[in-house]
Amino acid sequence: MHKHWLQSNPGHPGLLFYLSMYIFPKLTMLVQNSEQFNPLWSAFYPRRIIVPAGYCDPKYYAVSLCGMAKAAFSASAVYNFVDSSSGYIAKGLMSVKVPTYFLQYDFITDVSNSRIETSMKMGDLVLPDKAMLFVLPEKFSREYNFGLHIPFVSMTYLSYEDTQQPNIKQINPPPGGMVDGIYLCHYVWFGDNELPSDYFFNHPGHLALQVINDKCEEIITETSEYDKLTGDYVGMEDPKMEVRIMSNMTFLMAKLLLALMAEPKMIEKGVIARPSKVKKGRFRSELWNPHLIGWKYQHDKAPPGGGTHASPRLHRRVGHFRDQAYGPGWSERKVKWIRPMWVGLKAEEKNE
């Protein structure tokens, strides 16, 4: 497999993200007032959002995006991105005004606990928008990622035509072609005592999830980076953990897209909570309610008492995604999500 088309790039542009969390007021002012960053800031944080409790503010990701984009710009023009994952992700998000979605805890937990066919190809998945930023609940992030914090995950879909635009360095298609396009993903991880690292990985549409998963260790090994000044390894101290996180995030995003394909009504678009206005000579930008995913999700909670001695053993049945035939002559296909549920209760106990 061509390394360029399936890779993870650990590095420390995420230092901006780290600083934004701990020295945010000063850094935000610096970015907004800087001649270099000001046009980027308005592009990567186009609207103020009311942040639900238990989530990171997407302003932090916007600061990180500014750093990513500046690193990806060519010297010739502000919006002329070079051939890089960070550049394509930044440009993709900017082109659709960084649509930001907060994932509800029970919803994303049940999605993550559902089985998926590993023979499925990335090209079978559909991203609702060209690029999207997902904000994970802090509690889920730490539970799912072995105590590490991954507050944001962005995905961008790139067709072959997208790579041939005049203002982007043209690139050759990977072995096997690029008919199904390619998914670019970016996330930032950090621990309680570790600086954050950015990870960018590219998944061609013609590859099956199992193939991608099997390549995770090879990808991490081939793309390992070292600090040019200190010579220290950039990334997790445990490479095996690095591989597990990458595999986790790959399958989580695939499952999330399947869930949204099966139940698109889970997406709720936010509306303006307060229009822009001038108050006492000072301009106040409009304030938006957040875009939500899964806020109306009905989680099947464990019943109190755990059933009776006569009933079958109470247990949690794992959810799964099904490619279901329907329509005239069963000629059409659709994704159906069989949600996780508690089983082992008698009918009268369920109705209590």
State whether 203 and 334 are in the same domain.
Answer: no
State whether 204 and 334 are in the same domain.
Answer: no
State whether 262 and 331 are in the same domain.
Answer: no
Q: For residue 3, what pLDDT band results from cuts at 50, 70 and 90?
A: very low
Does 240 map to a domain? yes
State whether 218 and 328 are in the same domain.
Answer: no
Does 286 map to a domain? no
State whether 190 and 309 are in the same domain.
Answer: no
Q: What is the pLDDT of residues 203-247, one digit of tens each?
A: 878 888 888 877 776 666 655 554 444 555 555 667 777 788 888
State whether 169 and 251 are in the same domain.
Answer: yes
State how many domains the chain has.
Answer: 2
Q: For residue 330, what pLDDT band results from cuts at 50, 70 and 90?
A: confident
Task: State the residue for tokens 């938006």.
Answer: 288
State whether 194 and 101 are in the same domain.
Answer: yes
Does 55 map to a domain? yes
State whether 230 and 123 are in the same domain.
Answer: yes
Look up the pTM and report it: 0.81
State whether 335 and 207 are in the same domain.
Answer: no
State whether 220 and 309 are in the same domain.
Answer: no
Q: What is the pLDDT of residues 294-318, one digit of tens each?
A: 999 988 776 665 555 555 677 778 8
Which residue, 257, 274, 291, sits at the end of a domain? Answer: 274
Q: What is the pLDDT of residues 86-116, one digit of tens each?
A: 778 888 898 899 999 999 999 999 999 999 9
Which residue, 227, 258, 274, sits at the end of a domain? Answer: 274
Highest average pLDDT, of 62-71, 165-174, 308-317, comes from: 62-71
Does 197 map to a domain? yes
Structural domain harbouring 335: 304-350
Does 183 map to a domain? yes
State whether 195 and 129 are in the same domain.
Answer: yes
Which residue, 221, 253, 274, sits at the end of a domain? Answer: 274
Does 327 map to a domain? yes
